[in-house]
């Protein structure tokens, strides 16, 4: 069966709520960056905004796909004493695949965009190559799901590293007020996601850790914008 | 060596200088406070007056520059933007 992950039944509605929170957090940050772009017309704000909005859109696709996967028809059959479960392939099957791939690709592109802006990179020639590799990784993750999570972890790790360098240069302390903590938690969540093959419980743990990372990002955002 | 100020930095410095002086300032004081030449000050002031960020007013035969609500809002937004930029390292 094609699915996003091994989600325990009791967690199926809860994880959708978690993704909705992620959408809101990333959407608000993206919208604020866009407001600053309109004020200054500086490109960095535009691309920072686009990156966060892509991550927001990616979670929208994940919710959409969850909806189709969780409503998949399962019928139990008994034959010669053996019980087996049949998943009926319905007309939404291709939407599930499209939704999953869209979620993964948009998420990776969004994370790459953040990394590109934060490092203040000027190397525009390598962008098509990176986008192609991210697309290839997304397609490959259809076969080996952890390819997506490890690539997302790599990009988040690079973002954390860049924030660490910035903190070192500016002699800042690592408090909850710094996005390095939030991105580090998101990095850990992706590593946990990649261990899904161990037990379905891993999915629950990874989702909770990821939610915590997004809530910390929200805390950073609220401190900045509503003070 | 200090980094060259952007157009937005100069506008922020001008508006903050007026705000720090209680919302009104004489043009000469603003020139020193915002560290601008006379020509540059005139050119930026024209823009700020045209955009209703600042207005000119005569008080006791002296010309004063007054920051408007729109100007105060811009100062607030620019401060938030600076904090946003510093926090997210962009």
* Per-residue pLDDT band at A154 (split at 50, 70, 90): very high
pLDDT at A199 over 90: no
Q: Do B8 and A178 touch (CB under 8 A)?
A: no
pLDDT at A151 over 90: yes
DSSP H helices, A86-195, are: 93-118, 127-140, 146-170, 179-193
Q: What is the ipTM of this complex?
A: 0.79
CB < 8 Å to A35, chain B? 77
Q: Do B88 and A44 touch (CB under 8 A)?
A: no
Give the highest mean pLDDT range of A4-18, A32-46, A60-74.
Answer: A32-46
Q: What is the pLDDT of residues A98-142, one digit of tens each?
A: 999 999 999 999 999 999 999 998 888 999 999 999 999 999 998
For the segment B10-22, the average pLDDT, to the nearest whole number, is 92
pLDDT at A76 over 70: no
pLDDT at A67 over 90: no
Q: Is A49 on the interface with B (CB under 8 A)?
A: no
Q: Is B5 exposed, middle or buried (0-12, 13-18, 19+ CB in 10 A)?
A: middle
CB < 8 Å to B88, chain A? 48, 118, 179
* Per-residue pLDDT band at A1 (split at 50, 70, 90): very low
User: Between residues A220 and A80, which one has the greater pLDDT?
Assistant: A220
For the segment A18-47, the average pLDDT, to the nearest whole number, is 94
pLDDT at A6 over 50: yes
Q: Do A224 and B84 touch (CB under 8 A)?
A: yes
Q: What is the mean pLDDT of chain B?
A: 90
Q: Do B90 and A45 touch (CB under 8 A)?
A: yes
CA B20-B23-B81 angle, 5° bins: 60
CA of B12, closest CA in chain A: separation in Å? 12
Instruction: Give the pLDDT of residue A95.
Output: 82
Q: What is the mean pLDDT of chain A?
A: 87
Q: Is A73 exposed, middle or buried (0-12, 13-18, 19+ CB in 10 A)?
A: exposed
Distance CA A217, CA A223 (A): 10
Q: Do B84 and A33 touch (CB under 8 A)?
A: yes
Instruction: Give the pLDDT of residue A4.
Output: 45
pLDDT at B18 over 80: yes
Q: Do A224 and B80 touch (CB under 8 A)?
A: yes
Q: Do A48 and B87 touch (CB under 8 A)?
A: no
CB < 8 Å to A166, chain B? 89
Helix, strand, coil percent values for chain B (each to nearest 5): 60, 15, 25
Q: Do B89 and A163 touch (CB under 8 A)?
A: yes
Q: Do A163 and B80 touch (CB under 8 A)?
A: no
CA A162-A167-A172 angle, 5° bins: 165
- Picking from A45, A162, A179, the nearest residue to B87 by CB comes out as A179
CA of B72, closest CA in chain A: separation in Å? 14
CB < 8 Å to B78, chain A? 39
Distance CA A187, CA A158 (A): 10
For the segment B3-29, the average pLDDT, to the nearest whole number, is 89
CB < 8 Å to B81, chain A? 36, 39-40
Query: Cβ contacts of residue A48 below 8 Å, gap of 6+?
Result: A30, A33, A113, A114, A117, B88, B90
CB < 8 Å to A179, chain B? 87-89
* Per-residue pLDDT band at A79 (split at 50, 70, 90): low
Instruction: Give the pLDDT of residue A75.
Output: 63
User: Between residues A144 and A190, which one has the greater pLDDT?
Assistant: A190
Instruction: Give the pLDDT of residue A174.
Output: 66
Nearest by Cα to B7 from A58, A40, A105 = A40
pLDDT at A9 over 80: no
CB < 8 Å to A220, chain B? 87
Identify whether the C-beta of residue A155 lies closer than 8 Å to the C-beta of residue A111: yes
Instruction: Give the pLDDT of residue A2.
Output: 41
For the segment A159-170, the average pLDDT, to the nearest whole number, is 89
pLDDT at B1 over 80: no
Instruction: Give the pLDDT of residue A83.
Output: 66
Instruction: Give the pLDDT of residue A211.
Output: 97
For the segment B15-27, the average pLDDT, to the nearest whole number, is 93
Q: Is A220 on the interface with B (CB under 8 A)?
A: yes
């Amino acid at each position: 069966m094609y699915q996003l992950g091994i989600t325990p039944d009791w967690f199926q509605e809860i994880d959708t709520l978690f993704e909705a929170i992620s959408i809101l957090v990333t959407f608000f940050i993206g919208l604020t960056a866009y407001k600053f772009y309109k004020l200054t017309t500086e490109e960095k704000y535009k691309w920072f905004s686009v990156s966060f909005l892509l991550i927001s859109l990616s979670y929208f696709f994940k919710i959409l796909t969850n909806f189709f996967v969780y409503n998949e028809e399962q019928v139990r059959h008994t034959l010669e004493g053996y019980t087996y479960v049949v998943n009926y392939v319905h007309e939404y099957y291709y939407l599930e695949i499209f939704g999953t791939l869209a979620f993964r690709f948009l998420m990776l592109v969004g994370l790459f965009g953040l990394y590109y802006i934060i490092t203040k990179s000027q190397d525009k020639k390598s962008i098509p190559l990176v986008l192609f590799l991210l697309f290839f990784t997304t397609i490959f993750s259809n076969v080996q799901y952890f390819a997506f999570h490890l690539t997302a972890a790599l990009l988040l790790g690079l973002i954390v590293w860049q924030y660490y360098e910035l903190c070192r240069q500016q002699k800042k302390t690592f408090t909850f007020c710094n996005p390095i903590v939030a991105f580090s938690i998101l990095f850990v969540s992706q590593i946990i996601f990649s261990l899904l093959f161990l037990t379905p419980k891993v999915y629950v743990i990874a989702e909770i850790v990821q939610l915590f990372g997004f809530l910390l990002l929200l805390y950073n955002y609220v401190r900045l914008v509503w003070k | 060596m200090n980094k060259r100020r952007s157009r937005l930095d100069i506008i922020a410095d001008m508006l903050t200088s007026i705000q720090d002086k209680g919302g009104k300032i004489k043009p000469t004081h603003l020139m020193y406070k915002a560290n601008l030449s006379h020509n540059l000050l005139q050119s930026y002031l024209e823009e700020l007056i045209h955009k209703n960020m600042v207005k000119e007013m005569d008080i006791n035969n002296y010309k004063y520059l007054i920051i408007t609500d729109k100007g105060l809002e811009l100062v607030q937004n620019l401060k938030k933007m600076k904090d946003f930029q510093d926090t997210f390292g962009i």
